[in-house]
Structure formats: structure tokens, C-alpha cells
Structure 1
Amino acid sequence: MTILKALLLILIGLSGGLAVGAGLVAFLTVLGIVPRLAQITKTHAFIHLYQSGIIAGAVFWSWIGLREAELYLVKDVVLVYGLLAGMFVGLLAAALTEVLNVLPILAKRIHMVDKLVWLLMAMVLGKVLGSLFHWMFFAPFS
């Protein structure tokens, strides 16, 4: 690999990381997760710890992802982790939907305002069934 190719690869990697990081920060800022968490738990004095925890978690798991490390965990731990991770992703998606008012706009555009509950249930069941299908049939082979 020539020096020019190596420098180009470094530039592309750093640019991609910067774009993803900026997107994550913008996403968390728009949702107001950290201030809302401090408000709900009445722990404004620890808001810097929340921010440090988010940064440390992002850096640690990015490093683990780059090293392609394998974690050998007990089945019960994996089940609990999977449940908590799924809840986190679902709640984050719900928070984003709430902030952007996606559901009312979508319901209005597809002329289903009177059937909003059915639309929401279809989305939830689709997500659950799709996730179960993936984890039951594709995850064991990867």
C-alpha cells in the first residue's frame, strides 16, 4: 500500500467517524436525552457524569468494534443484555418519533387519521416480528 493510499484511507476513516459522531451528538441534542434524564431523576448535579458515561461508552464500544473482539457470555446474561438493548433502541426510536411528530404526519398523508392506533400497532408488531425472525434464523449463523 502506498503512502498516498494510506493517507486517503485515514482521511476517509476519520471523515466517516466525524460524520457519525456529529450525527449522534445532534441526535442526542435534539431529543434532549441527558437534560431530560437529569430532570426526571432530579440529579442535575451529576449531568457531567451522564455526559462522560455516554462518551466513554461510545469510545469503548467503538474500540471493541474495531478490534473485532468476541465476548463469550453466559446465555442468561445475553438474554438480559438483548432485552435491555432492544428496549433502549425501541425507546430511542419512539422518542425520535415523538419529537418529529412522524406518526400524525404519516397518518394524515396516507389517510389513516381515524386508524392511528392500528397504524401504531402494525409498526410495533412489524418491528417485533422482524427482530424475532432475524435473531431466530440469521443470528445463529453469523
Structure 2
Amino acid sequence: MINLYDGFLIIIGLASGFVVGSGFVAFITVLDIVPRLAQITRTYHSIRSYEYGISLGVLVFTWLDFFNVVLGFPILMTSFIGASMGIFVGMLAAALTEVVNVIPITVKRLHMQRYLTYLLMAMALGKVVGSLFEWLIYL
């Protein structure tokens, strides 16, 4: 039997999940990730597949995390999955940067027009080094 405290926790958990899920969907929608991906790759016929893939990926990995499932994949498959996840996160960050115009505003305000290439390389290398530190040393 569920007591009042447990019922309250269930309601809070479901409400939080709906808020986070709605925020994620709004974020993907505002950034036009799926249509932009279809435009860049010239695969307009696959838009539904992209949408289903994102939705299914979110659901599956949420359930795997929720139940603390550990998948024992071989190193090659783990590398492929990790690279795919990194590409997705990179595309999401690049789309956010493009929408908000972070780089042009930063370059203009800091008078770094001559150093734009170095700024972009520093950002990319910083991301790579940070990710490698997270995966190889911190864990």
C-alpha cells in the first residue's frame, strides 16, 4: 500500500520528468535539429526516422539508467556508441551556438577577428581534452 509520502514522491517525480522531457523537446524543436540535419545530409525522406530515433533513444537510455542496467558491449561497439553520442552532443552544442550567435558576438566584443581560427581550435581542443579527461582519468 502506498502511503501519502510515497504518493507525493511519485507525483513529484512524474511532474519533474514531464518538465524535463518537455524542455528537451522544446529545445530540439527551437533549434530545428531534425530539419537542419535532413537539410545538411539531403535526406528529407528520413525525417520521421530521425524523430523516431531520437525519441526511442531517449526512452531506452532513460529506462536503462532508471534500472541501473550495465551493458557489457565489446570495446569496438562501445567506441561506436560513444562516438555516436559525442556526435549528437556536438551537433546539439553547435546548433545552440549557431542559434544564439555566441561566436560572432564574442569575437566582435573582444576584438578577436584576426584570431578567430585560434579561438575555434581552442574551443574544439578544449572539448576533446575535457572529454578525454572525463573518460580516461576521472572515471
Range of TM-score over shorter length: 0.7 to 0.9
- Please, what TM-score do these two structures have when normalized by structure 1? 0.83
The alpha-carbon deviation at position 42 of structure 1 amounts to: 4.9
Give the Cα separation in 2 of the matches to 1:125 and 1:43: 30
Which structure is richer in relative contact order (CA contacts within 8 A, separation 6 or more)? 2
Report the alpha carbon displacement of residue 30 of structure 1 after superposing the two structures with TM: 1.4
Alpha carbons 2:107, 2:116 under 8 Å: kept: yes
Counterparts in 2 of 1:5 and 1:43: CA distance versus 1, 3 Å: same
Q: CA deviation at 1:127?
A: 0.9
CA RMSD of aligned residues (A): 2.2
Normalising by structure 2, we get a TM-score of 0.84
* 1:88 aligned partner: 88
1:106-133 CA distances to partner (integer Å, 9 max, x unpaired)? 2233343432222222111111111111
Q: Any stretches of 5+ residues in structure 2 without a counterpart?
A: none
Matching of residues 44-63 of structure 1 within 5 Å: 44-63=44-63
Calculate percent identity across the aligned residue pairs.
50
Corresponding residue of 2:65: 65
The change in CA–CA distance for 1:15 and 1:109 in structure 2 (over 3 A counts) is farther
| Structure 1 portions without partners, runs of 5+ | none
Match of 2:117 in 1: 117
Q: Which moved more, 1:115-124 or 1:104-113?
A: 104-113
Change (3 A) 1:43 1:133: closer
Aligned counterparts of 1:104 and 1:96: Cα–Cα separation in 2: 13
Matching residue of 1:7: 7
